[in-house]
Amino acid sequence: MNQNSKRNFYIMISFALIIFGRFLPLPEGMKPAGMTVTGIFAGSLLLWLTVAIDWPSLLCIAAIGMIPGIGFKGVFLSSFGNETFAFLMCTFMCTYVLSETPFLKRCALYFITSPMAKKGPWMFIISFLTAIICIGCFVSPTVLFVVFLPILEKINEILGLKKGDKIGNMLMIGLTFAVSVSAGMTPIAHVFSIMAMGFYTTATGLTIGYAQYMVFAIPVGIICIVLLLLMFRFIMNPDMSQIKNIDISFLKNELKPMEKKEKTILAVFCLVVALWVLPSLLKEIFPAVTQISRMGTAMPPMLGIILYSIISFDGKPLLNFAEGMKKGVQWSSIIMAAGTLAIGSAMTNGNVGLADYLINVLSPILKDINPMLLVVAFTAWACIQTNFSSNMVTVTVVTTVAIPLVQATNGAISCPAVVAIIGMMSAYAFATPPAMPHVAMAIGSGWSDTSSVMKYGLIFMMFSIIVTVIVGYPIAAMLM
């Protein structure tokens, strides 16, 4: 069967599930609308995994709009009208403005040309990974990888490395893995954690604060990076003599001093980040700041877009709005986010009754199960699936299943903690080319290969699961 035949086959099966799923026999206690939503979810999931993520999301939204009790006004409100959709669009625009400046490269060179980086080969590797993690907390993984790739190419050139050398392979794997870890450490400019938090809000009416998320996700990320270094040192164990006396300080000469325009762009971006984070941190000291968080997560980046569009240098605004919408916004990801938000809302809709059905069926089964086994199961599920399929599909599927299951434990497991972990784990994608675009780019660069990325990726994946369960969940459960 050729590629086009496979595509048509998957589309045919998906449409059959979406259209005729409602006619399947109803399990006892399930409403007809629940079976309809289940069929739509199954058909959409098959398309997301095999065909595309953009137009199947529109199909998913249209199919849900046909359900009595939801309708098109309801589904548009839960998808395109959801705060998460506006947040992602505005955040992509803000990070686009920042990425057009030399600031990210300036930060990267600051770390890898620091005095600490010159103290030895492993200190250089630590500085290199630290730079990726620090910058990656605030920018999208693809942008981060594109910023660091030419810097890494220059480092390899200075070292005289050739493609296939063990050190070059290690540096590329380090870049690839660290980019993914940084994407899970904060919700700032990162889709997956925001989607998980949005699903939780839709299902429960409650919110997970940015600070609450970062207080557990950042320590997990740091510990994972330490374990990555140990893996390099004791498992990969390359000969580091070539990197012994590396000094790349001259690369800083390529950068001009920071101008007023770059400083202004950075100041606005810092304001956006502050409006996200500070309300959660200062609410006990200054209760009035909670008024800011009540405005929602989309308000700060929207304010940033407005400021970037107003402030101008040399007669040009900091943000060319049309260009930002075209080049800065990852529309396929946002359209899929709208589709997954719609299906998540439909599954928890009272008229559909699917969540209530799952809770009623599963509560008797789960009462005798050790709660920590569920935490391990959802953490491992999210981490394994995200390394072999779409991150957005992972966060959608695992969160949709997890919320009613965890609620059925009657508080034995922290639901917001599990949801936040799923969002974080969905970003920990580094073992195979389909995991994230930058993984495919890393393999395509020639400095690494599929077998090396998968081998060390699977080892690192196990480290990530263990750290998340042992360290991440207890912290998250205590704070949420």
pLDDT tens, residue by residue, 74-102: 999 988 988 878 888 888 898 889 888 88
The pLDDT value recorded for residue 176 is 94
CA–CA separation, 326 vs 328, rounded Å? Answer: 6
**Average confidence (pLDDT) over 369-395:** 87
Report in angstroms the alpha-carbon separations of 333 from 7, 53, 63, 64, 196. Answer: 21, 8, 19, 19, 14
Indicate the range of 30-34, 258-262, 286-290, 314-318 predicted with least confidence. 286-290
Report in angstroms the alpha-carbon separations of 319 from 138, 328, 342. Answer: 19, 11, 31
Task: Pull the structure tokens for residue 145.
Answer: 């990888």
Q: Is residue 124 scored above 80 in pLDDT?
A: yes
The pLDDT value recorded for residue 2 is 78
Q: Is residue 358 scored above 80 in pLDDT?
A: no
Q: How confident is the model at residue 289 (pLDDT cuts 50, 70, 90)?
A: low
Q: What percent of the chain has pLDDT over 90?
A: 36
The pLDDT value recorded for residue 366 is 65
**Average confidence (pLDDT) over 115-122:** 85
Q: How many CB atoms lie within 10 A of CB 316?
A: 9
CA–CA separation, 412 vs 221, rounded Å? Answer: 26
pTM of the complete model: 0.82
Indicate the range of 13-27, 303-317, 336-350 predicted with least confidence. 336-350
**Average confidence (pLDDT) over 382-396:** 85
304: left (phi over 0), alpha (psi -120 to 50) or beta: alpha
The pLDDT value recorded for residue 247 is 67
Q: Is residue 248 scored above 80 in pLDDT?
A: no
The pLDDT value recorded for residue 309 is 95
Q: Is residue 179 scored above 90 in pLDDT?
A: yes
Q: Is residue 48 scored above 70 in pLDDT?
A: yes
CA–CA separation, 364 vs 355, rounded Å? Answer: 15
The pLDDT value recorded for residue 78 is 87
The pLDDT value recorded for residue 305 is 95
- Mean pLDDT of all residues belonging to the chain: 87
Q: How far apart are the first and last CA of the chain?
A: 50
